[in-house]
């Protein structure tokens, strides 16, 4: 596949349709490839540049993966192009603010280890996050080489979202790229999310990203000591682009009703209820509650659905620790 320099970093017809021929010649087209507190790293068709966040003076928050137009003389931001996908969450802490994770992402690699890190409730949140913005979720179960029961983790994960692909592997294995090749197409963008210590940096290195030192795993909890402290985009050997993110301790969904509904589409198939506005809580003649009672639907999944819906409605502010 012969891609031009902009296509190699993710440019597509979706973005070119937003530009007039004059604008394309007047401005520098750039993609945000690194996000730090005071500066941004951007890629253009010709080179990599560093921009001061203050100098950019964006009218709205920028995030890694964004496409922007720069004034060629001042390098000031002139325009933020429309995104075709945007991953976001509620910021950690007591503040009710939204934190952007990545833009214009095609696939989300959700990483979880085959050990005590594995948590169905947490995984459901990651999946909903992706589905909310039409990003394909792919679950990667790392440290499968250290678990004699890694197939049990796969079986549990298969109950979460039937269309999702699940790959159990050792993130350091030399065949990782081959196993993940369907999603590593040239010009495609993959974001990686997961808790600290699950092997995100090891996976990135195995896929050909810039090497980052990963200390030996602690024997007690099997967690690597390396922690990514900022978001960065890497060019992979096969031409795909990978966004590495810091480890996430808690994932609170925000503006994610669509993702929750898509994640629990199997549950909603039972929603042959007496009342059209049934909330599937305690209403009489509720098809979902009947399915739970009969064992056709697990109580854990029903509780998780209600938990995430309540959060989206602003009724709760607890995080995944509920599960």
Dump pLDDT digits (tens) for 142-183.
999 988 889 999 999 999 999 999 999 999 998 999 999 999
Strand partners, 194: 111
* Nearest one of 123, 174, 116, 122 to 146, comparing CA atoms: 116
Q: Measured between alpha carbons, how far is 105 from 84 in angstroms, rounded to an integer?
A: 8
The answer to whether 200 and 140 have CB atoms below 8 angstroms apart is: no
Q: Measured between alpha carbons, how far is 221 from 121 in angstroms, rounded to an integer?
A: 20
Q: Measured between alpha carbons, how far is 111 from 148 in angstroms, rounded to an integer?
A: 19
Residues of the chain whose pLDDT is less than 70?
1, 94-95, 210-229, 315-323
Q: Which domains does the chain have, with CATH numbers?
A: 7-80 (2.40.50), 86-244 (3.40.50.300), 264-322 (1.10.40.50)
The pLDDT, as a whole number, for residue 153 is 95
265 vs 51, 181, 259, 262, 302, CA distance in Å?
Answer: 43, 28, 10, 5, 12
Dump pLDDT digits (tens) for 108-134.
999 999 998 999 999 999 999 999 999
The answer to whether 246 and 228 have CB atoms below 8 angstroms apart is: yes
Q: Give me the half-sphere count of Cα atoms (radius 13 Å) on the Cβ side of residue 138.
A: 20
The pLDDT, as a whole number, for residue 217 is 36
Handedness of CA 202, 206, 210, 211 (dihedral sign): positive
Strand partners, 206: none
pTM of the model: 0.88
The pLDDT, as a whole number, for residue 211 is 56
The answer to whether 307 and 316 have CB atoms below 8 angstroms apart is: yes
The pLDDT, as a whole number, for residue 28 is 95
Q: Exposure string (b/e) for 21-39, b if CB count within 10 Å is 16 or more? A: eeeeeebbbbbbbbbeeee
* Nearest one of 130, 88, 97, 158 to 260, comparing CA atoms: 130
């Amino acid at each position: 596949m012969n891609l031009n320099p902009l296509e190699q970093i993710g440019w597509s017809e979706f973005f070119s349709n937003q530009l007039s021929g004059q604008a394309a010649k007047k401005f520098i087209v750039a993609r945000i490839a690194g996000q730090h507190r005071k500066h941004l790293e951007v890629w253009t068709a010709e080179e990599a540049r560093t921009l001061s966040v203050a100098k950019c003076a964006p009218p709205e928050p920028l995030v890694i993966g964004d496409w922007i137009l720069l004034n060629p003389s001042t390098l000031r931001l002139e325009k933020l192009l429309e995104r075709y996908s945007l991953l976001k969450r509620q910021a950690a802490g007591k503040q009710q603010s939204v934190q952007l994770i990545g833009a214009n992402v095609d696939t989300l690699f959700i990483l979880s280890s085959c050990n005590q890190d594995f948590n169905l409730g947490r995984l459901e949140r990651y999946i909903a996050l992706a589905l909310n913005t039409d990003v394909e979720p792919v679950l990667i179960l790392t440290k499968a080489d250290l678990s004699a029961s890694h197939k049990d983790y796969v079986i549990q994960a298969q109950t979460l979202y039937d269309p999702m692909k699940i790959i159990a592997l050792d993130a350091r294995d030399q065949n990782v790229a081959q196993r993940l090749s369907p999603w590593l197409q040239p010009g495609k963008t993959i974001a990686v999310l997961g808790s600290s210590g699950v092997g995100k940096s090891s996976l990135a290195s195995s896929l050909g990203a810039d090497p980052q030192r990963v200390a030996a795993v602690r024997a007690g909890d099997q967690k690597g000591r390396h922690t990514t402290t900022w978001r960065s985009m890497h060019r992979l050997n096969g031409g795909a682009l990978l966004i590495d993110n810091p480890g996430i301790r808690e994932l609170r969904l925000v503006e994610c009703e669509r993702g929750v509904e898509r994640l629990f589409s199997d549950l909603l198939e039972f929603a042959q209820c007496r009342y059209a506005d049934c909330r599937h809580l305690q209403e009489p003649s509720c098809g979902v509650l009947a399915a739970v009672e009969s064992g056709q639907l697990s109580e854990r999944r029903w509780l998780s659905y209600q938990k995430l819906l309540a959060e989206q409605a602003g009724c709760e502010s607890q995080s995944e620790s509920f599960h």
